[in-house]
Amino acid sequence: MKERCPNMNHSRSNVAIRFCPSCGEVVSNSVQNRGRCDETKHAHRRKERNFFCCDCGKKLR
Ligand SMILES: [Zn+2]
Ligand SMILES: [Zn+2]
């Protein structure tokens, strides 16, 4: 990791998401993308103030 990201997913050893919702970096390579994301899913994530989708890593704003 080059920069410290405040998101606590980075320090967890057992994460259920592939991408960090704050910085978009991969936090767990073992988690595979579960199907395709649609706009509904991304809109929901956006509402939760995530900057990136934790499934596909797409920037949400
Ligand atoms: Zn992060
Ligand atoms: Zn997505």
Whole-number Å distance between alpha carbons of 34 and 47: 20
Rounded CA gap, 40 and 27, in Å?
Answer: 23
CA of 11 to the centre of ligand 2 (A): 22
Q: What's the CA-to-centroid distance between 55 and ligand 1, angstroms?
A: 13
Structure tokens at 41: 């899913």
Percent of the chain with pLDDT over 90: 69
Q: What's the mean pLDDT in 4-31?
A: 91
- The Cα 30–Cα 42 span in angstroms is 22
Confidence label for 61 from pLDDT (cuts 50, 70 and 90): confident
What separation in Å is there between the alpha carbon of 12 and the centre of ligand 2? 21
- What distance in angstroms lies between residue 8's CA and the mean position of ligand 2's atoms? 20
The closest ligand to the CA of 5 turns out to be 1
CA atoms within 13 A on the CB side of 23: 13
Q: The pTM is what?
A: 0.83
